[in-house]
Amino acid sequence: MSDLVVAPSLLAADYARLGEEAKAVEAAGADWLHLDVMDGHFVRNISFGPAVIAALRPHVGLPFDVHLMIEPFEPFLDAFVAAGAASVTVHAEATRHLDGALEAIRAKGVKAGVALNPATPVSAIENVLHRIDLVCVMTVNPGFGGQRFLPNGAERIAAVRALVGDRPIRVEADGGVTAETAPAARAAGADVLVAGSAVFGKTDYGAAIASLRG
């Protein structure tokens, strides 16, 4: 579980060329493709939905790491799984029934993740660890790309890593991850790095991904 995963976020890609962009980061050495789904309600932005993800699926072999920043998300789980998600991450803040939601995700045969906003206590996931495959630590306030890694981001990653312990759970850093901030995220215990503009904002995707690995 310690192998580092780099998951470029398609949110920062050229939307007129999404298929080409996905293929490009795959060829450049990405491990996963991170797909940020935003609804304009849970976060103040709108991105794309299951139809776009389904359209991408035949053209790229990377596992799809689908991050739902939508509320409610429960009515849409089937659509995202059918679109080709390998994992579905939901926000702890977006449901009253986190345990049941995670159980439902796993029952669909995909991995279940929980995302924590910066102000949400890490203890929010303490009682559902048995249902989690991934914890997405938001190191920015969600909704927009290009933000700076929050000053306490590494501290929160370390707190999640300590809570996870030796369980087979990935710890994902999402937001403001760059070549400069990735070392702190890795040192704190993140083994998945989500990067948007730090990859898609560069001319050489391969070099950008390599820089995140350190």
Q: How many residues does the chain have?
A: 214
The two tokens of residue 31 are: 């491990």
Per-residue model confidence (pLDDT) at position 148: 86
N- to C-terminal Cα separation, the chain: 18
Active site residue 174: yes
Q: Residue 187 has which token pair?
A: 């040192």
Residue 2 predicted with pLDDT over 70: no
Nearest to 92 by CA among 106, 66, 71: 71
Domains contained in the chain, CATH given = 5-213 (3.20.20.70)
| Cross-strand bridge partners of residue 88 | 66, 112
The one catalytic residue among 31, 36, 65, 133:
36
The predicted-structure confidence for 167-210, as pLDDT tens digits, reads as follows 999 999 999 999 999 999 999 999 999 999 999 999 999 999 99
Q: Is the pLDDT of residue 84 over 80?
A: yes
Q: How far, in Å, are 13, 49, 53, 117, 177 from residue 145 at the CA level? A: 10, 17, 19, 15, 10
Cite the beta strand spans of 52-183 per DSSP E.
Answer: 64-69, 87-91, 111-116, 134-138, 170-174
The two structure tokens encoding residue 206: 């391969």
Amino acid 113 reads G
pLDDT at 161: 98
Helices (H), the chain: 18-27, 50-56, 77-83, 98-107, 153-164, 182-188, 197-200, 205-213
Catalytic residue, from 31, 39, 65, 174: name it: 174
| 36 classed as catalytic | yes
Contact 118, 156 (CB under 8 A): yes
Which tens digit of pLDDT belongs to each residue from 91-131?
Answer: 999 999 999 999 999 999 999 999 999 999 999 999 999 99
* Mean pLDDT (the chain, rounded): 96
C-alpha neighbours within 13 Å on the C-beta side of residue 65: 30
Neighbours of 110 (CB within 10 A): 20
